[in-house]
Structure 1
């Protein structure tokens, strides 16, 4: 059964399976924007992280620590549509996963291997969409995850495989209610099916063993790291670091990928690296003392794709095909494939310097180049193709078909615009009144449209020229708005010309003409106005508007997560796992504790996106 059919069984399930968020529906867009603004305001005046300073504090400890090697799963950007979120949850819950290896260089299938379930699951941010609330968490996150891995039946041995530990980092969508719901869900030691939460704050430290540490960072909408959090991390991480220790930092945003456009984007993570990992303040010493530890892996979601940047070795380049695979290189990995819409990858920079030139807090630390290495998901050619689909009105991924509210809004906007243009046309050809569209020939309407469009394009040209002269200011940032207005004007003029081509019957009264024109203008405006908006999206190569090319499609296929293995030899092995098509057909499995949805045809096929990435505990000599 499909999601809508499952929703009819909400009483049995204990939650309501939800469809994907339609991000370009105007009401949804307005609600999310309002909550984002309010979150920023309340975060400034009521920072929940400072309140957390009164809560119990300790190093995080798994509910059950495995006797041998530790396996850790990482996923982020979940809690959107049921199909995608529940598919990833089911894969994470499977006791073992048989995964296909990446194809060999000769094109032959890669070796198949079996990976065990993680003993610890880390949710890397944005655990719910579109905004945090108790109901949203219940329906979009907790319900699917509890159903995927139900609590062990009485008498079942309790260990790290039957009761995995669950940790979470808050992202911007978790902050949209001031972090209230996040703390209630993840910081009270509650069960989510068989998964057990252990944290008491929105940040924390976990000893992964074999010299590895996991740092969960709450950056509060990217603003700063608060003093109580810094003190907590100094006490439970920095004070315990020893020379040769390695740290994995889970951040809510891949700041390393943004430094090309925003040089200060990495400042916060650079500060964390220096103040909490590289140095410790010791009483009696005026200067901080080096810990001998290092950040060896940066992890983040927020961008809904997979990409990997690797520290460039200071020596000669590696062998062909092995770029970014030196175990001594620091890795910076983005994996936001947990359930939200797919993002593009073709705009990612080929290389970045960290800290970036122009960083506000640069402290003299040598800049280290990082290169984008390995596979991206989606690959860049696919990313370009997917982005263009949003403007194809004959495909099911068109902005209008994926966001019905956008069609409705465009219809009303265009109806008003066509009415204004018809009034202007009546001024040019006076005497027609309400029947202007009947009295005007298509040729005259076309000439009128060409003149009006030329006048509208003039300010756009001037705006673009001014933006080229001042590429960093408000003038440049507002070019898409001007272009959008001109495109909507063109759509309105097309609607007006269309009205003049309609063969209105002579017997039709003026009121009938007006009524018919309203209907035609609304339908034409819904289609033309939405297509004009979609063309605006694909015309942009950077910025917020360009990101709507993918969010407007709400692509729920192409999902994945990371499975990390902390080996007893001191190395950490990262397995990027992806599933190309999520489950859309479900059936109800009846259990003594109630019903739960399971894939009707079994779990989808999982594959390794690239060969496992080995990260040594020790890196290049400074």
Structure 2
């Protein structure tokens, strides 16, 4: 049965399966915007991380059932709590005790084991956090995928921005009260964590709120449970809520500063309690993991002896790695504009104490989706014949543009009437000819051109004012162009003389609404595709709510101390489900045909320290 049919059995399965979030549906966009504004405004006044300083604190250990284990399987998944089909497909794949993985090329399929540690890398629910949202979109699907497990795998979770939109209230109730989620066992007491792993590895999760800062109780926690226990040669895995290393090249040169500062002061060095001086620990961060961007991309450290061109670095376990894998269930993100190389920290960073020269990380060739597919899929937003066309994928968007263009017609009609010496737009539409319309359109365009020239002159006279081009103005002008086209059509229509003024006006408004719904939506989609920065670039993919291209990371910590990363992708998601009896849950949805799994790229090996191979 389909997801919508499963909803009829919500009482039996214990949750209500949900559809994928439609991010540009007007109602959804408005509700999310309100939550974002409230969270941003009040975050500094009600920071629950400060309150967490009074809670119990302890480091965690994995695996739970084998304290003396010499190896470990770890699963990492992020951006997961959205549509049922995508989220549950990933959950069922994670829950499989043994997983056959199709290798690229002629290599035979490999076998991996379910992680004894499951790391949720942020944004565990969409669009905003709530108790009901977590239950329906994350807890229910994961509980159904693994109702019980004899080995009691440990689950740790890091909050992302969507988890913070309710001030972290629901997140702490779900993940910080040591309650199991099906067969997975939660054990953390705060929104950040330290997990001690075998073979002198440490895994930590950092909570930077909404990209702001690390609070003092959190820093004391890491000073006590991480820094004070690091020994020379220890390897550290850092999980952060967003890939600030990419943002440092993309939007803000200071985005990576907080993580770099933490690395220098809490991993590579620690504070001597006697003298207050910073002493080297001999440990290093070997792997950075994150989600937030819903794709797979990896950046590898460029070693001093490297001469290969960007993107062609040969495998070397000495390289540090930065991996983004946000394929857990939410919409797919683009990869075709990812920077090729990242000097960290970048030259524009205002951080006082930093690595000099900066360490350069090169993007690996393999991404998911790859660059060509990413470009092709982005363009679907503006293709009316595609099921991913903006108004088709976002219910209510066409109605919104229809209403906007009905209002625009009234405004332009009134201005057109004034230009003809009359007050009623209906009279101007009925009696004007092509010459009058051309004069009005020409005058309107001339006024816009004058405004642009005045703005340009202002910038030339005051060069110190760095004003970026207004993309919002471009979007508005595109809608005005559509409205002018509607006005031209209305002027050209030979309305019968017998029609009253109100009938003509209603016909014009219907025309404006119909044309605006189609051409207005298309103009907005084309504007989104033309964007090269800002929120509009994210809408190119989020506006399509693409459910395919899902996956996660599986890591193997070997007895020799090396970690191997297996980036796994599902070949499609399950859309057909069977309802089966279960002794633990009563009823649970089971995939009619579980998806197959493949490697996105060859496994990546990371040594615990940068020893010579």
In the other structure, the counterpart of 1:199 is 188
| Residue 361 (structure 1) aligned with residue 362 (structure 2) | no
User: Deviation per CA, 1:274-302, whole angstroms, max 9, x where unpaired?
Assistant: 12111112233352211100000000101
Of residues 116, 119, 128, the one that matches 1:131 is 128
Is the contact made by 2:70 and 2:198 (CA closer than 8 Å) also made in structure 1?
no
Is the contact made by 1:460 and 1:482 (CA closer than 8 Å) also made in structure 2?
no
In the other structure, the counterpart of 1:64 is 65
In the other structure, the counterpart of 2:447 is 455
In the other structure, the counterpart of 1:614 is 605
Separation in 2, partners of 1:144, 1:504: 58
Is the contact made by 2:398 and 2:518 (CA closer than 8 Å) also made in structure 1?
yes
Gaps of 5+ in 1: 104-108, 153-157
Q: CA deviation at 1:318?
A: 5.6
Separation in 2, partners of 1:345, 1:99: 24
Separation in 2, partners of 1:304, 1:470: 41
In the other structure, the counterpart of 1:590 is 581
Separation in 2, partners of 1:587, 1:552: 30
Is the contact made by 2:125 and 2:133 (CA closer than 8 Å) also made in structure 1?
yes
Gaps of 5+ in 2: none
For residues 364 and 118 of structure 1, do their structure 2 counterparts lie closer, same or farther at Cα, with a shift above 3 Å needed? closer
For residues 94 and 486 of structure 1, do their structure 2 counterparts lie closer, same or farther at Cα, with a shift above 3 Å needed? same
Q: CA deviation at 1:59?
A: 0.8
Separation in 1, partners of 2:242, 2:463: 26
Is the contact made by 2:401 and 2:521 (CA closer than 8 Å) also made in structure 1?
yes
Q: CA deviation at 1:524?
A: 1.4
| Residue 224 (structure 1) aligned with residue 213 (structure 2) | yes
Q: CA deviation at 1:169?
A: 0.3
| Residue 184 (structure 1) aligned with residue 199 (structure 2) | no
User: Deviation per CA, 1:242-267, whole angstroms, max 9, x where unpaired?
Assistant: 10000000000111111123111111
In the other structure, the counterpart of 1:106 is none
Q: CA deviation at 1:442?
A: 5.8
User: Deviation per CA, 1:472-514, whole angstroms, max 9, x where unpaired?
Assistant: 97730x5101101111101111222232344534443332222
Where 1:299 maps in the other structure, the secondary structure is: strand
| Residue 328 (structure 1) aligned with residue 330 (structure 2) | no
Which 10-residue stretch deviates more, 255-264 or 508-517?
508-517
In the other structure, the counterpart of 1:102 is 104
Is the contact made by 2:529 and 2:537 (CA closer than 8 Å) also made in structure 1?
yes
Which 10-residue stretch deviates more, 356-365 or 330-339?
356-365
Where 1:404 maps in the other structure, the secondary structure is: coil
| Residue 86 (structure 1) aligned with residue 78 (structure 2) | no
For residues 510 and 196 of structure 1, do their structure 2 counterparts lie closer, same or farther at Cα, with a shift above 3 Å needed? same
| Residue 498 (structure 1) aligned with residue 495 (structure 2) | no
In the other structure, the counterpart of 1:298 is 288
Where 1:488 maps in the other structure, the secondary structure is: helix
In the other structure, the counterpart of 1:275 is 265
| Residue 215 (structure 1) aligned with residue 197 (structure 2) | no
Q: Within 5 Å, which residues of 2 pair with 1:216-295?
A: 216-260=205-249, 261-295=251-285
Is the contact made by 1:312 and 1:368 (CA closer than 8 Å) also made in structure 2?
yes
In the other structure, the counterpart of 1:118 is 115
Of residues 539, 543, 548, the one that matches 1:557 is 548
Of residues 573, 578, 581, the one that matches 2:572 is 581
Q: CA deviation at 1:171?
A: 0.6
Q: Within 5 Å, which residues of 2 pair with 1:506-525?
A: 506-525=497-516
Is the contact made by 1:435 and 1:514 (CA closer than 8 Å) also made in structure 2?
no
Is the contact made by 2:311 and 2:363 (CA closer than 8 Å) also made in structure 1?
no
| Residue 526 (structure 1) aligned with residue 523 (structure 2) | no
For residues 224 and 452 of structure 1, do their structure 2 counterparts lie closer, same or farther at Cα, with a shift above 3 Å needed? same
Is the contact made by 2:161 and 2:209 (CA closer than 8 Å) also made in structure 1?
yes
Separation in 1, partners of 2:15, 2:461: 54
Q: Within 5 Å, which residues of 2 pair with 1:308-319?
A: 308-317=298-307
- TM normalised by structure 2 equals 0.94
Where 2:85 maps in the other structure, the secondary structure is: helix
Which 10-residue stretch deviates more, 578-587 or 381-390?
578-587
| Residue 21 (structure 1) aligned with residue 18 (structure 2) | no
Q: Within 5 Å, which residues of 2 pair with 1:162-177?
A: 163-177=152-166
Which 10-residue stretch deviates more, 538-547 or 433-442?
433-442
For residues 331 and 321 of structure 1, do their structure 2 counterparts lie closer, same or farther at Cα, with a shift above 3 Å needed? closer
Is the contact made by 1:374 and 1:610 (CA closer than 8 Å) also made in structure 2?
no
Separation in 2, partners of 1:472, 1:12: 65
In the other structure, the counterpart of 1:48 is 48
In the other structure, the counterpart of 2:395 is 404
Separation in 2, partners of 1:536, 1:408: 19
Is the contact made by 1:571 and 1:615 (CA closer than 8 Å) also made in structure 2?
yes
In the other structure, the counterpart of 1:155 is none
The two structures, once aligned, show a CA RMSD in angstroms of 2.3
For residues 469 and 329 of structure 1, do their structure 2 counterparts lie closer, same or farther at Cα, with a shift above 3 Å needed? farther
Is the contact made by 2:311 and 2:362 (CA closer than 8 Å) also made in structure 1?
no
Q: CA deviation at 1:433?
A: 4.8
Q: CA deviation at 1:185?
A: 0.3
Separation in 1, partners of 2:516, 2:442: 18
Equivalenced residues, count: 606
In the other structure, the counterpart of 1:425 is 416
Separation in 2, partners of 1:189, 1:529: 51
Separation in 2, partners of 1:112, 1:252: 32
For residues 64 and 504 of structure 1, do their structure 2 counterparts lie closer, same or farther at Cα, with a shift above 3 Å needed? farther
Where 1:401 maps in the other structure, the secondary structure is: helix
Is the contact made by 1:313 and 1:326 (CA closer than 8 Å) also made in structure 2?
no
Q: CA deviation at 1:218?
A: 0.7
